[in-house]
Amino acid sequence: MTGYYNDKLAAERLRQCYGLAPERTRKYLQAELDFTLSQIKPGDIVLDLGCGYGRTLPTLAAKAGSVIGIDNAEASIAMARQAAKDIPNIVVKEMDAARLLFATNLFDVVICNQNGISAFHCDQKNLLQEALRVTKPGGLALFSTYAKKFWEYRLEWFKLQAAAGLLGEIDWEKTKDGIIICHDGFTASTVSPEQFLQ
């Protein structure tokens, strides 16, 4: 989770990206969150990998027993802690999702939503292994990425972010097939169902 999201797209800038989301993208984000909530039982201990500025932490905490959100962008962590300051069952920690400092078999549900598997820019197999390591037997590790059919909506959202100066200008020669590349170093990919199974 180092790099671009830590240096250029943390906290308020990241919040602005979500604020720019078009209607179809907002529906996608809500559907993702609704599905995640449907997998959480009251009393569950939940780990949110890459919690960012805390966008979904209060909603998760309303369903779970406790939620630990981790991120490694200092500004995002500060903003997430502020958002959760009056919610006693949320803890926000600075941590690398690929090197979790938690005991084995600790969490009922581990979440890596909003294409974190791509955004973290780490070894994806190691990220999955770490998430599974800290998940209790019988628990769930939930990872999401973008479907191919969502490409045009995703691209529309990134165009808006670039136009607002939150990302660099999109490199149209290299942006295709689920991969977005900007001239300032920003990159985002997707993970196919087949890649998840490897």
**Is the Cα torsion angle 198, 113, 25, 163 positive or negative in sign?**
negative
Chain position carrying tokens 């590349």: 181
Selection from 85, 71, 94, 75 nearest residue 11 by Cα: 75
pLDDT of residue 197: 81
Whether 127 contacts 100, CB under 8 Å: no
pLDDT of residue 136: 98
pLDDT of residue 5: 84
Selection from 153, 146, 181, 178 nearest residue 167 by Cα: 181
pLDDT of residue 139: 98
User: What is the C-alpha to C-alpha distance for residues 115 and 34, in angstroms, rounded to an integer?
Assistant: 16
Spans in the chain with pLDDT lower than 50: 1-2
Chain position carrying tokens 């999401």: 144
Report residue 179 as tokens: 């991969």
Q: For 41-53, how does the pLDDT look when each residue is reduced to its tens digit (9 = 90+)?
A: 999 999 999 999 9
pLDDT of residue 1: 36
pLDDT of residue 195: 85
